[in-house]
Chain A
Amino acid sequence: MSVRAFKFFVVEGTKSFFKNGLMSVASVVTVSMCLILCGLYVIFSMNLNYAAKQVETNYEIQLFIEEGTSDTRIADIGKELNGIDNVNTVVFVSKDQAFNQWKEGFKDNLAILEGLEDDNPLRDSFKITLHDLKQTESTMSQVNNIQGVAYVKNNKDSIDKLVDLTGKIKNASFYFMVFFALISVFIISNTIRITVFARRREVNIMKFVGATDWFIRWPFVIEGILVGLIGAVISVLIVSQSYGYFLGTTGVLINSTIQLYEVAAVISPLVISLAGMGIIIGALGSAMSLRRHLYV
């Protein structure tokens, strides 16, 4: 396509967008509605991934050391733990540190701990986090084989369920997105079809003066892209504002160990995905709606 032709198509498509005032507004509203729902799903899946990641990185396994183990052996255990591939972080918690943390927990009722300070019943321990929770079982068998480890505290069953559930939600939301994108293209191509039907006479004239299919199609496609882009801008504004409002009002209800993305962090993915979807939906919708009128 020559630069001259491209300029002509852009000018024609833009002019036509403004000339078809009401129909353009109707198309933009339809695209915005679809993109708002898509945007909500983008934020939902982003936060779901983020939450799952946090659960995985914050998940700790605690290994308690046998009573009477020497400091040298404890240091070796730390080295052995660091040597296991799937182990991410290793933190040593001495029995004194554990007792102090315990005290912190009971600070309003310290009488319960009276007498225990001289005879600390707690053990030295290591807290480890893993790279990949799916490999918990094999990592656990390696950890259990380390000499000097008395026992291991591990919520593996509940973690398995969580990993399984987030996987299922991710899959379901992906299929829902694909389904929803298809529905959007269908709705939008029908809305644009009404615009094209109103201008079928114009298309017919173009055919008789010798315009090629693409010469006719391009201004419509550019108009569709414009509809998609304006719809994307509107939906990004609405979705990001609503998300900000949601964070402001419900932030306190969410468990403090799970963080949600800040509004600023979701803007770029929202703009990229919704503008991309808007452009594709608008362009595809226009091109598809025109097809029938081009065979004259």
Chain B
Amino acid sequence: MIFFNNVTKRYDNGTVALDDVSFFIDKGEFVFIVGSSGAGKSTITKLILCEEQPTGGTVLINGINLKDLKHREMPFYRRQIGIVFQDFRLLPNKSVYDNIAFAMQVRNATTKEIRRAIPNVLSMVGLSHKAKVRPGQLSGGEQQRVALARAMVNNPPVLIADEPTGNLDPATAFDIMQLLEDINKRGTTVLTVTHARDIVDKMKKRVIEIDNGTIIRDGVGGYANECKSF
């Protein structure tokens, strides 16, 4: 599903963000990518989203080699990936309903399809009663739930969560992680980039730890615990 094969990423200023990194994430897995700031974990997200191209090696997502992807094919590829950011990235002028609907409108969904899908996804994130509200009127946790609903409304096979709890208090952060786990149980592959040690420890999922651009640990367990290596 997600395959990084000897991937190196060197930025124009000479910084090596990833150095010969390889890992494979199978369909339906829940994986944490952890590491300190500047370790290279965000570069992994950028490579998956095609925001950056690797300097060396291959990134394969759902069998697509991202190096072969043309600019005009990019939108269709991105529709297969749900994405949630630390800063939620909701459209401030649109209601919760319209923010989610937008992700369906871009792929030319009919009004009927939109009307059918949004109540389901809003109920999944527990925000059915906030459909008409603007993002600015919601708490951080609620905004992240809207972002999750938007990411999931098209049923993507992969969900990338880039520091999804970075702006949230611990209790809300844990609720969001529960939601991610629920989504994963429905069959979606979830890749969460975080440095929230307590959450990683609690969830007991597969953890890929990056330091200085290389993988220093890949196994099941908590952030700081000894883990079972792959």
Contact = CB atoms under 8 A, between A and B. Distances in A.
Contact of A206 (B49, B77, B93, B106): B106
Interface string B142-184: 0000000010001000000000000000000000000000000
B225 interface: no
Closest 3 interchain pairs by CB? Answer: A210-B79, A210-B78, A211-B106
Contact of B93 (A2, A8, A19, A296): A19
Given A210-B78, A210-B103, A296 B89 contact: no
Contacts of B111: 4
A164 B103 CA distance: 63
Contacts, number: 49
B86 to A, nearest CB: 13
Contacts of B150: 209
B75 A210 contact: yes
Nearest to A20: B93
A291 to B, nearest CB: 12
A202 interface: yes
A5 interface: yes
Nearest to B105: A8
Given A8-B105, A296-B51, A212 B91 contact: no
B105 to A, nearest CB: 6
B75 A205 contact: no
Nearest to A5: B108
Contact of A202 (B72, B77, B91, B106): B91
A19 B93 CA distance: 8
A215 B109 CA distance: 13
B92 to A, nearest CB: 8
A209 B110 contact: no
B102 A4 contact: no
B91 A205 contact: yes
A95 interface: no
A55 to B, nearest CB: 57
Contacts of A5: 108
A123 interface: no
Given A210-B77, A213-B75, 4 more contacts: A5-B108, A205-B89, A210-B154, A215-B106
Nearest to B108: A5
Contacts of A215: 75, 106
A204 interface: yes
A208 B49 contact: yes
B127 to A, nearest CB: 18
Most buried by B among A8, A206, A209: A209
Interface in A188-223: 201-202, 204-213, 215
22 contacts: A4-B111, A8-B105, A19-B93, A205-B90, A205-B91, A206-B102, A207-B75, A208-B49, A208-B83, A209-B79, A209-B102, A209-B103, A209-B150, A210-B75, A210-B76, A210-B78, A210-B103, A210-B107, A211-B106, A212-B72, A212-B106, A295-B71
